[in-house]
C-alpha cells in the first residue's frame, strides 16, 4: 500500500503529527471514503468516479476504494511553480518553502483613526493591491475586498483586473463559478500571450472548497474540473468550523477535512492526471461561549499543522493561512494573533499561506495591520533562518584578536557583518529619550504613516497599453453578457 513519505531532513523545524499519526489519519480517511462516502452534486464527476471503480448510490452518494485514492496521490505532482506578470519564476511551491499573501473577499475595510468599518470600493482594492506590490514580504496577492461599487456579478472579474493592473506578483483567485474563472483565465492568457504559455508559466492558483461535512457542491466541483482541464494549479480546501460542521476536536477535524480534500484530489486527477494540486484545509474552531468561528486560535494552528504534515506525507504542496485573527481593529490582540500564527506557519512549512491582513474573523482588513504583518513576516524569516557555522561566521580569529576583556566594536569582523542583523522599518530601537524626541509614536501610528507614504509615492508598473485594452475588452464582454 502506498503510504507516502514522511520527511526527516534536518530542515524540518516543527511537526504537529507523528509518523504513526499521519498513517492513522490516512487509513481512517480512506475508511470515510469507502464506508461513509461523500455526496457529489456533479454528474461529470460522478461518471468519472464510477468509471474508475467507485460506487455510486442514491444518485449522488459515492464510495471510493482506497486503491483509487492512492492512485490519485501517486499521479499528482509534488511541486509546481507560480510566475510573476513578467514570466519570472516567483514561487517554487514544494518541500518546506513558505510564501505569504493576503486573503480575499472581506466585506469591510477598517479605517485608521476613526475605526470605521465600511464597504470596500474599487479604489480601496486598488490601494490594497498597490500596498501588496510594494511590501517586500508579501509574495502573492488575493483580492482582499468585495467591491461594493460595481455590479456584484462582475465582482470577481473586476477584482482580477485590479490585481493584474496593480501588481506583478503571482495571485490566488477565488471565483463564484466557471464563467468567472474562464474570464480570469482569459485575462491571464492575455498577459502570457495565450493559454499554452499560461499553462507553461502559471500566473495564479485557484481556491475552491467543498461544504463540510461530506458534501461537494456543483460549483466547487465545476471549478475544480475546469482547473484540471486547463492545468491551472488549484486547491480543494474544506473550510469547516470545529464543533459546528466538523468534530470539535483537532484530530477529528483533521480527519474529516483530510478525507474531503482527498475526494477533490481523486476527481481532479481522474479529469487530468498530473495536473497541479494544492493540498490543505482551513478551520475556524467555534468558541462555544460566543458561538463564533474563531480565527488564529491555538486549535486552528494545530489543525493547520496537521494539514501540512498530511500534505508532506502525500508529497503534495501545502495550503494554509496566517496573519489573521479575531481582533476587530489593528491593536495589541491583532499583532499577538498574527505574530504567533505567522511564526507557526513558517515552522510548519506551509507552502502557500494566505489571509495576511485579515481581522474580525475574516470579515475585515486593516491596511495598517497588513504592513505590520509584513514586518512580522520579515522578522520571522530572520528568526528561523539557518545559523551559519563556517570558519568566517564562527569568528574564531576574531575571538583570538579581541582576547580577554576586550570588545568587538572596533574589530574588522564586526564591520564585515554588522549590517546582516534584521532591522524592521516599523520596529523602534531608540532609547526612551530619542523615541520621545522623534514623536513618541506607537507601532500602529508608524504603520499608518507607512501606508500613507506608500500610497502617495509608489506607482506599480502599468500593463502595456495593448494588453490593458485586451483586459478591458474581456470585462466589457462580460458586462454585456450580464445585461
**Residue 407 falls within a domain, yes or no?**
yes
Give 409: exposed, middle or buried? Use CB within 10 Å, 0-12, 13-18, 19+.
Answer: exposed
Structural domain including 398 reads: 391-420
Instruction: Tell me the C-alpha distance between 369 and 135, whole Å.
Output: 13
* Number of domains within the chain: 1
pLDDT digits (tens, 9 = 90+) for 179-225: 999 999 999 999 999 999 999 999 999 999 999 999 999 999 999 99
**Residue 246 falls within a domain, yes or no?**
no
**Residue 260 falls within a domain, yes or no?**
no
pLDDT digits (tens, 9 = 90+) for 216-262: 999 999 999 999 999 999 999 988 899 999 999 999 999 999 999 99
- Look up the pTM and report it: 0.95
b/e per residue 263-285 (b: at least 16 CB within 10 A): bbbbbbbbbbeebbbbbbbbbbb
Give 202: exposed, middle or buried? Use CB within 10 Å, 0-12, 13-18, 19+.
Answer: buried
Can you point out the beta strands (E) in 421-482?
Answer: none
Beta bridge partners of 46: none
**Residue 408 falls within a domain, yes or no?**
yes
296 three-class SS:
coil
**Residue 401 falls within a domain, yes or no?**
yes
**Residue 411 falls within a domain, yes or no?**
yes
**Residue 429 falls within a domain, yes or no?**
no
pLDDT digits (tens, 9 = 90+) for 42-91: 999 999 999 999 999 999 999 999 999 999 999 999 999 999 999 999 99
pLDDT digits (tens, 9 = 90+) for 449-461: 999 999 999 999 9
What share of the chain has pLDDT > 70, as a percent? 98
Could you give phi then psi for residue 392, rounded to 5 degrees?
-65, -45
As a three-state string, the secondary structure of 205-223 is EEECCCECCCEECHHHHHH
**Residue 405 falls within a domain, yes or no?**
yes
Could you give phi then psi for residue 85, rounded to 5 degrees?
-60, -30
Amino acid at each position: 500500500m502506498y503510504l507516502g513519505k514522511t520527511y526527516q531532513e534536518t530542515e524540518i523545524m516543527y511537526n504537529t503529527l507523528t509518523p504513526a499519526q499521519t498513517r492513522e489519519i490516512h487509513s481512517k480517511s480512506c475508511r470515510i471514503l469507502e464506508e461513509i462516502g461523500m455526496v457529489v452534486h456533479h454528474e461529470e464527476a460522478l461518471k468519472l468516479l464510477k468509471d474508475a471503480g467507485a460506487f455510486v448510490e442514491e444518485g449522488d452518494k459515492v464510495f471510493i476504494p482506497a486503491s483509487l485514492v492512492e492512485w490519485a496521490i501517486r499521479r499528482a505532482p509534488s511541486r509546481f511553480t507560480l510566475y510573476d506578470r513578467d514570466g519570472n519564476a516567483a514561487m517554487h511551491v514544494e518541500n518546506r518553502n513558505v510564501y505569504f499573501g493576503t486573503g480575499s473577499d472581506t466585506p469591510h475595510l477598517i479605517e485608521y483613526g476613526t475605526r470605521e468599518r465600511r464597504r470596500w470600493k474599487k479604489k480601496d482594492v486598488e490601494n490594497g493591491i498597490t500596498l501588496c506590490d510594494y511590501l517586500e514580504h508579501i509574495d502573492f496577492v488575493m483580492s482582499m475586498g468585495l467591491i461594493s461599487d460595481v455590479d456584484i456579478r462582475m465582482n470577481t472579474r473586476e477584482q482580477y483586473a485590479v490585481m493584474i493592473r496593480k501588481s506583478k506578483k503571482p495571485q490566488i483567485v477565488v471565483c463564484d463559478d466557471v464563467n468567472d474563472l474562464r474570464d480570469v483565465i482569459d485575462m491571464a492568457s492575455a498577459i502570457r500571450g495565450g493559454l499554452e504559455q499560461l499553462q507553461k508559466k502559471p500566473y495564479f492558483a485557484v481556491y475552491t472548497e467543498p461544504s463540510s461535512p461530506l458534501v461537494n457542491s456543483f460549483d466547487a466541483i465545476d471549478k475544480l474540473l475546469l482547473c484540471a482541464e486547463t492545468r491551472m494549479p488549484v486547491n480543494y480546501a474544506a473550510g469547516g468550523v470545529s464543533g459546528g460542521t466538523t468534530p470539535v476536536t483537532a484530530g477529528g477535524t483533521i480527519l474529516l477535512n483530510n478525507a474531503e480534500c482527498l475526494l477533490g484530489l481523486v476527481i481532479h486527477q481522474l479529469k487530468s492526471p498530473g495536473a497541479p494540486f494544492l493540498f490543505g484545509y482551513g478551520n475556524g474552531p467555534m468558541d462555544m461561549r460566543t458561538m463564533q468561528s474563531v480565527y488564529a486560535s491555538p486549535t486552528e494552528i494545530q489543525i493547520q499543522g496537521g494539514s501540512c504534515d498530511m500534505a508532506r506525507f502525500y508529497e503534495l504542496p501545502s495550503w494554509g493561512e496566517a496573519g489573521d485573527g479575531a481582533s476587530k481593529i489593528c491593536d495589541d490582540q491583532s499583532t499577538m494573533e498574527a505574530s504567533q500564527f505567522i511564526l507557526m506557519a513558517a515552522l510548519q512549512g506551509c507552502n502557500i499561506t494566505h489571509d495576511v491582513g485579515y481581522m474580525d474573523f475574516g470579515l475585515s482588513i486593516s491596511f495598517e495591520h497588513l504592513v505590520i504583518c509584513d514586518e512580522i513576516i520579515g522578522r520571522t524569516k530572520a528568526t528561523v533562518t539557518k545559523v551559519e557555522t563556517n570558519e568566517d561566521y564562527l569568528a574564531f580569529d576574531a575571538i583570538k584578536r579581541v582576547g580577554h576583556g576586550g570588545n568587538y566594536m572596533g574589530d574588522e569582523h564586526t564591520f564585515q557583518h554588522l549590517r546582516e542583523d534584521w532591522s524592521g522599518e516599523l520596529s523602534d530601537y531608540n532609547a526612551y529619550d530619542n523615541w520621545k524626541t522623534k514623536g513618541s509614536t506607537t507601532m500602529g501610528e508608524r504603520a499608518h504613516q507607512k501606508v500613507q507614504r506608500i500610497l502617495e509615492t509608489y506607482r506599480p508598473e502599468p500593463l502595456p497599453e495593448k494588453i490593458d485594452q485586451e483586459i478591458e475588452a474581456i470585462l466589457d464582454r462580460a458586462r454585456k453578457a450580464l445585461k
